[in-house]
Amino acid sequence: MDLLQDPRYKDTPVYLFFEKYIMDVIGELPDDKIEILKNINLQHVFGTKSSAWKDVVTEVLHLSSTINIAVLEQWYKQKEAAILHNTQIDPTQFSRDFVDQYFDENNSLDQWTEETLADAKRFIYENRNLEKV
C-alpha cells in the first residue's frame, strides 16, 4: 500500500516526513531511507524555499530551532521508563506518538523557559554519554 494513501497521511502527508525527521533525530532512520528522502523533491511537493528534506519539513511545519531538543528529551525519558519496566521502545511508534502529541492542542512539547531548556540539554547530554559507555 502507498503510505500516502494511509488515512493518517492522506490529508496531511507532511506528518509522514515529520515522523522520518524524528527518527533521524533519534538516530533510528536507516541510511537507505535517508537516501530515499534526499532524492524526493519535497521542495516541489510542498512549495518551499528550502530544498533539503529536513529543512522542508522544518519550513512547512514552522518547527523551532529547539525541536531536536524536544524530540531527544522525550526519547531519552521514554528509554529510561522502558528500562525501568524491562521493555523496549519501538522508534517508529515513538515517532508517531510524538507527532500526535506535538499537534495536540494542549501540547507543551518544545515550549521552554531558560531553565527548562538548560535542564533538557543537560539531560540529553548525560544520556548520550551513558549510551557511549
User: Tens digits of per-residue pLDDT, 53-104?
Assistant: 999 999 999 999 999 999 999 999 999 999 999 999 999 999 999 999 999 9
Would you state the pLDDT for residue 76?
Answer: 97
Residue 80 is which amino acid? E
Instruction: Please give the model's pTM, rounded to 2 decimal places.
Output: 0.92
